[in-house]
Amino acid sequence: MKLLKIEKRIDILETICEQFLSQVDDNSINKIENMSLKVKAFDEIVAECKEEIESSSIEHKIHILKLLYGLEIDENNMAILDESLDDYVNSQINNLHMKVNERKINILKNIISSITSIIEELVVDYKITLNLNLSWYRFQGKKLNKQREFLTRLVNLKEKLESELENDSQKISFIIIENFYNLYIFFSFLISLLVYEKREILLIEIANRLDRYIEVIEPSFSDRFLHYDDMIYHYALYEIRELKNKIFTELALQ
């Protein structure tokens, strides 16, 4: 009975996953070939950003946030800032018109997590069946075969989804990296302004938005050892985490 339920769950997962397993994007391959140039350009962009941040006054930062990003903090309506933040983040990572977006990344993560749970459950059952008294083994042959079949299907499905997740994460990461100057200036200027005005709650809201970037970039290099082709993702992730760390450092000082 339990195996029948597991089989139905696997059938449902395989059906759901068909819509998420897309063909390889040739453009992503071309970008990887230019990785060394991307890394060099990214380093230069970050250096320029930090120089501009250091040399800018609070008045200049307020002016840029309003002029370039249309962001003006209204003390009487903080909901406007929340909405503006979400609009900015969504435009980069969760545009529903994009084939790859934050929503798809999160769905893939949830499906992979469900598959992992089923695998863990099935492995436990398989070990129990395998360790039964040898005199009963011949009666458990069909059950063992079914368990092995289900494990094979699940592992294959998980590998395909993890590959899709990594590819999709890389595509979104490149969108973030291509617009990193604007992203870094936007959040750095806003953090400086909110620190200056001692807006603790709004700083936490900024940290939450930065977490959304971190969540979509992390799968781009999976859990493997550091590869050169992954360097730009690590750099982008590092700089965004540093922005988030700056928030909590400033909050601790207030």
| pLDDT at residue 224, rounded to an integer | 63
| pLDDT at residue 109, rounded to an integer | 94
Pseudo-torsion of CA 187, 190, 192, 195, nearest 10°? -120
* Tokens 């140039």, residue located: 37
DSSP state letter for 222: T
Average pLDDT over residues 145-170: 92
Provide the pLDDT confidence category of residue 213 given band limits of 50, 70 and 90: very high
* Tokens 């071309």, residue located: 30
Q: Is pLDDT above 50 for 27? A: no
To 10 degrees, what angle do helices 137-178 and 102-130 make? 160
| pLDDT at residue 138, rounded to an integer | 59
Long-range contacts of 77-85 (CB under 8 A, 24+ apart): 78/202, 81/202, 81/205, 82/205, 85/205, 85/206, 85/209
Chain centre to alpha carbon of residue 142: 41
Give the C-alpha distances (Å, rounded to integers) separating 76 from 61, 72, 80, 189, 192. 21, 12, 9, 21, 20
* Tokens 């398989």, residue located: 126
Q: Residue 153 and residue 206: Cα distance in Å, rounded?
A: 41
| pLDDT at residue 135, rounded to an integer | 54
Q: Is pLDDT above 50 for 30? A: no
Average pLDDT over residues 107-127: 92
* pTM of the entire predicted model: 0.86
Provide the pLDDT confidence category of residue 7 given band limits of 50, 70 and 90: confident
Average pLDDT over residues 164-183: 91
* Tokens 């750099």, residue located: 235
Least confident of 7-11, 47-51, 93-97, 120-124: 93-97
H-helix or E-strand spanning residue 50: helix 35-55
Q: Is pLDDT above 90 for 33? A: no
Q: Which residues contact 45 (CB under 8 A, 6 or more apart)?
A: 180, 181, 184
Question: Residue length, the chain?
Answer: 254
Average pLDDT over residues 16-21: 76
Give the C-alpha distances (Å, rounded to integers) separating 49 from 126, 163, 187, 219, 238. 55, 33, 11, 26, 15
